[in-house]
Amino acid sequence: MPPLKAVPLKVAGGGWLPWLAVGLLTAAAWGVAPFSLLGGLSLSLLVLTALKLREAKQRREHRLVCLLQLVTAGLLGAQRGDLGSSLLQGLAVVVALAGLLQLELGGVSNLASLLRRSGQLVLAALPMALALFLLFPRLGPFANLGGLGKFGAAATTGLSTTLEPGTIASLTQDRSPAARVAFPGGGPPPASQRLWRVLVHGQFDGQSWRSLNAASTETGNAGAGNAGPIAIGERDPEAIFGGSDADPNLGGRQPPGAKQVWLSEANGFAEVPWSGEGLPLDRHLKRDGQGQLRHDGAVGVRKLYSLAAEPATPAWRRQAPTAQDLQMTAGTNPRLEILAAGWRHQAPGGVNAADAAAGSRNAGGAKAVALAEAWFRQQGFRYSLNNPLLPKTAPLDALLFERRQGFCGHYASALSALMRAAGVPARVVSGYRGGTWVVPLGGSAFLDLRQSDAHAWSEVWIEGEGWRTVDPTLWVLGGATLGDPSSPAVRTAAAAANQAGPLDWIARQWWGLDLAWGEWWLGFDQRSQELLLQRLLGPYRDWAGALLVMAVALTLALGLAVYGWLRRRGEGDQLQQELNQLLRHCARNGLVPQPGESLSQFGGRLRQTRPLLGPELEDFVGLLQQLRYGRPGDCQRQVMARLRRCGQSLRRQLRRSRS
Amino acid sequence: MGTMNSPVQALIAAIGQVLLGKEHQVKLALACLLARGHLLLEDLPGTGKTSLAEALSRGFGLDFRRVSFTSDLLPADLTGLNVFDSQRSRFDFHPGPLFSQVLLADEINRASPRTQSALLEAMANGRVSVDGISHPLPEPFLVIATQNGLDQGGTAPLPESQLDRFLMRLHLGFPTREAERDLLQGQALQAAQLASELTAAHLQALQQQVQTIHTSPALLDYVLDLLARSRDSGRPGLPLSPRAGLALLAAARAWSLIAGRDHVLPEDVQAVLTPVCEHRLDGGQIRGEATLSSRLLGAAGGLR
């Protein structure tokens, strides 16, 4: 009998795989709204996991850590469905399972085999997951997890509800994605029409423009279909948008090709750009009189919307101005007011604030805009992204008459203030302008909007016409449009977005994949599910059919599990399998145990014929006997792992000696 | 073999100086003693049976008696008898040779079945009844019986039921040429010269330790397989009784203790299978060869 070597008791677990899983989960959780219900839950779970992993000593605790990691991955999956995060989540699951396997197999350090096994586990779970994804009923709160959070409306990135000259300067450097727009069956809109309204800033206190309280201006629910068409921004109605004021839920009345797929990134501000069509995602979307679409609650997850077209003159353009749109604290920017007062005299139809509130005519609006344009073009303003902060008192005076440099936010604020001072209702609108038209190798082309595409402009009320979009930044740039790469200022503004280096090319391919994934993953909502079931079940489209399918699937899964269990039992225990593997290799070398021979006798005989196998064979026999006949001890798993390694090495040597 | 049980090893070495070249048999006999079993030595006269018995008893400092079983030996010659003390006018019990810790029952198959059964009853029960009064036998109590070849005249073979009471049947056999040369040169010690530090208390401690040796489920499966194979119809030999199974396990435990392990391996079972089971399988009929038990080993199959 070979000597039994003392097996060192290793600390259970302790590998780096669980830490890698934590890292991957952290990366996957990047950008989750920390104050939403689910986001907070998953982030705290992540922290908890890391802390538990730090102090875990026993095997039981390491198992718990792995379980926590899997739950976290699941929670993240409910919130972040974009391709990158999904891949990270999947990877984290594989790594976490590998960590668990390493633990259960007793410190096996062969990474490739660990990953292979855990990959097999994940693959085995995939059909079930897919079946659940396709067939599990989208029950109210669960299908709509992202909308649960009522907190976290605080603007961290992206557009801000308060526009104070200087706040968008940081946005232009921020290249994180804002939205992606696909136009099924249509090309990209011309650059001049790529203007995406997001926020309307109607409240001006002499320094900053604030967005109005959403609740006070809310006029209807987009989902109800009675609030008129859905506003999507400055688009050429003939080119892109058919005149559809249909209930968005009845997609059949829309002309084909007029449908947009809009994938909006989760970026922490409460308002999403536009309405969606799919159920039940747009339940939380509200539309107000200024044409803003509002999402009640933070948008913690990225969302996919199908958009309808808007008519030539949407309702919000005709919505008459209120006193709010003329409100201006007199004396905050005296030089600006003096300039505007001059324009008011030149524009004979100019009205004062009281008249506007009473709904009087202000036919002078168009004239005032023309005067302002002429003035802006004369002044020789400079477009610049880096501007010193403006003084607290009379900031717009400082901008227009001293500094004479700024970017869209500055000029839009100034123009709107000028218009108000001239007695013309005006407001500042922030949103996105331009975007990059991306044609990926696979998947459909789309327009990519980044935070660096953020822009601000003015809307001025012209009697008889409605709210007109006026972009003073264009005047400053001297006629060039923002999408025009010939303008040097624009080149700095749009930066590398329009210049496709190899890295950008790769990034765009990635975005294309991401969009396709998003369309598939996020687009599969309750309606798509119902459609699928209708197709699958034909006339039996009640949920009874789905329940039947689920019952059958469950029964099948249960049957498979029982079958697997029975088969595993029939194969004998792991030790016997290990021994049988070795015996098979021995038999191929013509070494067969005699009847009645004990393992150590056989081992001894083997050692005589193959002296090279000696020490490892001794180990193998000793370990196997220790496991099978010894007292059950603490380090069984470690012994088992050593036995496996021994067996592997012996088999390798036997194979080699045969060939 | 890991850490040997050193006092036991020392004893084996000491007995080995008395019985030259018989280490395996000495270990088996010791295992029998440690498993609280009785030993049946079957061999020709002059092969060292008495020396073994004496050396074992001296090794643990045990009280040793020898009784030659003859055809006229009566049970009372073994157990002792009540003798009337005329002065005190009462019966006093005079214990017989059975009241010793190691009893060598020489040529047990020459005695009458009645005497044999008296001995075997004492072996089984650990006490002796004389005229209705029960007398406990000393602890530990080991019977080493020797048996001559059955072909010799004037013998009453032990019935199967009584063979079953012996844990092991051993053959000492002839010594090897080298061992016999040493013997002839007078290098063997006399059993009386054997020096050992062990006492009866040590023996009892070891006997208790044997009972704590671990037997895993896999090992019990092996023993059960062996028992089941012995009971297959069509297999030559008698089936093994449950007592045989217990004996096999006890002997295997003792064997693994001697080997210095805390758990029983299949090879422990295999090592003691022939001495423990052969006489139960052949019913005392076939002598001298381990054919039945080795066939059983082959039949139980599988690499253990």
Cβ within 8 Å, pair B303-A3: no
Q: What is the mean pLDDT of residues B221-247?
A: 85
- What separation in angstroms does the CA of A31 have from each of A26, A28, A268, A304, A323? 10, 8, 9, 17, 39
ipTM value, please give it: 0.77
Nearest-Cα residue of chain A relative to residue B297: A596
- What separation in angstroms does the CA of A476 have from each of A9, B64, B87? 75, 124, 147
Q: DSSP string covering A551-565, please?
A: HHHHHHHHHHHHHHH
At residue B254, the pLDDT reads 93
Q: What is the mean pLDDT of residues B226-242?
A: 82
Gyration radius (Cα) of chain B, Å: 20
Q: What is the mean pLDDT of residues B166-177?
A: 86
Cβ within 8 Å, pair A629-B301: no
Position A19 pLDDT exceeds 80: yes
Q: Is A30 exposed, middle or buried (0-12, 13-18, 19+ CB in 10 A)?
A: exposed
* Residue B296 and residue B277 in contact, taking contact as beta carbons nearer than 8 Å: yes
Q: Is the peptide bond before A165 cis (omega within 30 degrees of 0)?
A: no
Mutate to test the interface with B, among A629, A636, A639 (most CBs of B within 10 A): A629
Tell me which residue in B219, B259, B301 faces A595 most closely, judged by beta carbons.
B301
CA atoms within 13 A on the CB side of B187: 12
Nearest-Cα residue of chain A relative to residue B3: A3
Least confident of A303-307, A355-359, B243-247: A355-359
At residue A493, the pLDDT reads 42
Which residues of chain B neighbour A577 with C-beta distances below 8 Å? none
At residue A82, the pLDDT reads 75
At residue A225, the pLDDT reads 26
Q: Which residues contact A6 (CB under 8 A, 6 or more apart)?
A: none
Tell me which residue in A594, A598, A630 faces B216 most closely, judged by beta carbons.
A630
Q: Model confidence over A113-156: pLDDT tens digits? A: 888 888 888 888 888 888 887 777 665 444 443 333 322 222 22
CA-based nearest distance B30→chain A, Å: 20
At residue B249, the pLDDT reads 92
Work out the number of other CB atoms within 10 angstroms of the CB of residue A149: 22
| Strand ranges for chain B from DSSP E | 39-42, 64-68, 80-85, 90-95, 102-106, 127-130, 133-136, 142-147, 168-170
Q: Does A611 touch chain B (CB under 8 A)?
A: no
Q: Does B301 touch chain A (CB under 8 A)?
A: yes
In chain B, % of residues over pLDDT 90? 6
What distance in Å separates the CA atoms of residue A396 and residue A118, rounded to the nearest whole number? Answer: 62
Cβ within 8 Å, pair B265-A631: no
At residue A71, the pLDDT reads 92
What distance in Å separates the CA atoms of residue B28 and residue B258, rounded to the nearest whole number? Answer: 9
Q: Which residues contact B275 (CB under 8 A, 6 or more apart)?
A: B28, B32, B168, B169, B170, B251
Q: What is the mean pLDDT of residues A166-187?
A: 61
Q: Are strands A303-307 and A260-264 parallel, antiparallel or unpaired?
A: antiparallel
At residue A402, the pLDDT reads 83
Position B72 pLDDT exceeds 50: yes
When comparing pLDDT for A405 and A357, which is higher? A405
At residue B6, the pLDDT reads 76
Cβ within 8 Å, pair A598-B266: yes
Q: What is the mean pLDDT of residues A217-240?
A: 28
The top-scoring range by mean pLDDT among A328-337, B9-18, B80-89 is B9-18
Q: Model confidence over B27-51: pLDDT tens digits? A: 999 999 899 888 888 877 778 888 8
Q: Are strands B39-42 and B142-147 parallel, antiparallel or unpaired?
A: parallel
Q: Is the peptide bond before A3 cis (omega within 30 degrees of 0)?
A: no
Tokens of A539: 């006339």
Place of tokens 């697997």: A564
End-to-end CA distance of chain A: 30
Work out the number of other CB atoms within 10 angstroms of the CB of residue A148: 16
What distance in Å separates the CA atoms of residue B139 and residue A193, rounded to the nearest whole number? Answer: 110
* Residue A373 and residue A398 in contact, taking contact as beta carbons nearer than 8 Å: no
CA-based nearest distance A596→chain B, Å: 4
At residue A311, the pLDDT reads 58
User: Distance of alpha carbon A456 from its chain centroid, rounded?
Assistant: 24
Position A487 pLDDT exceeds 60: no
The single-letter DSSP state of residue B176 is P
What distance in Å separates the CA atoms of residue B92 and residue B289, rounded to the nearest whole number? Answer: 48
Q: What is the mean pLDDT of residues B233-242?
A: 80
At residue A154, the pLDDT reads 26
Q: Model confidence over A253-290: pLDDT tens digits? A: 233 333 444 545 443 333 333 333 333 334 555 566 66
At residue A269, the pLDDT reads 33
What distance in Å separates the CA atoms of residue A311 and residue A314, rounded to the nearest whole number? Answer: 6
- Using alpha carbons only, give the angle B194, B198, B201 rounded to the nearest 5 degrees: 140
Which residues of chain A neighbour B218 with C-beta distances below 8 Å? 628-629
Position A525 pLDDT exceeds 80: no
Q: Does B264 touch chain A (CB under 8 A)?
A: yes
pLDDT band at A442 (very low <50, low <70, confident <90, very high): low
Q: DSSP string covering A377-443, please?
A: HHHT-EE-S--PPPPSSSHHHHIIIII-EE-HHHHHHHHHHHHHHTT--EEEEEEEE--EEE--SSS
Which residues of chain B neighbour A4 with C-beta distances below 8 Å? 2
When comparing pLDDT for A105 and B78, which is higher? B78
Cβ within 8 Å, pair B219-A596: no
Q: Which residues pair with B129 in a beta bridge?
A: B134
When comparing pLDDT for A659 and B263, which is higher? B263
Q: Which residues contact B13 (CB under 8 A, 6 or more apart)?
A: none
When comparing pLDDT for A247 and A85, which is higher? A85
567-586 of A, contacting B, C-beta below 8 A? 579, 583
Cβ within 8 Å, pair A1-B265: yes
Position A332 pLDDT exceeds 60: yes
What distance in Å separates the CA atoms of residue A213 and residue A411, rounded to the nearest whole number? Answer: 24
At residue A249, the pLDDT reads 27
Mean residue pLDDT across chain A? 69
At residue A92, the pLDDT reads 92
Positive or negative, the CA dihedral B227, B228, B229, B230 is positive
Tell me which residue in A593, A601, A628 faces B216 most closely, judged by beta carbons.
A628
In chain A, % of residues over pLDDT 70? 61
Tokens of A546: 């789905």
Mean residue pLDDT across chain B? 82
Tell me which residue in B263, B267, B304 faces A630 most closely, judged by beta carbons.
B263
CA atoms within 13 A on the CB side of B262: 9
The top-scoring range by mean pLDDT among A45-54, A70-79, A464-473, A548-557 is A45-54
Interface A-B: count of C-beta contacts within 8 A: 58
Q: Does A604 touch chain B (CB under 8 A)?
A: no
- What separation in angstroms does the CA of A614 have from each of A5, A48, A606, A624? 15, 49, 8, 15
Q: Model confidence over A121-132: pLDDT tens digits? A: 888 888 888 888
Amino acid letter for position B254: A
Tokens of A135: 């067939």
Cβ within 8 Å, pair B270-A596: yes
pLDDT band at A621 (very low <50, low <70, confident <90, very high): confident
CA-based nearest distance B240→chain A, Å: 18
Q: DSSP string covering A161-189, please?
A: SEE-TTSSHHHHH--SEEEEEE-TT--PP
Which residues of chain B neighbour A630 with C-beta distances below 8 Å? 214, 216, 262-263
What distance in Å separates the CA atoms of residue A463 and residue A360, rounded to the nearest whole number? Answer: 9
Q: Model confidence over B138-155: pLDDT tens digits? A: 888 888 888 876 566 666
Nearest-Cα residue of chain A relative to residue B215: A629
At residue A581, the pLDDT reads 81
Which residues of chain A neighbour B303 with C-beta distances below 8 Å? 579, 583, 593, 597-599, 602
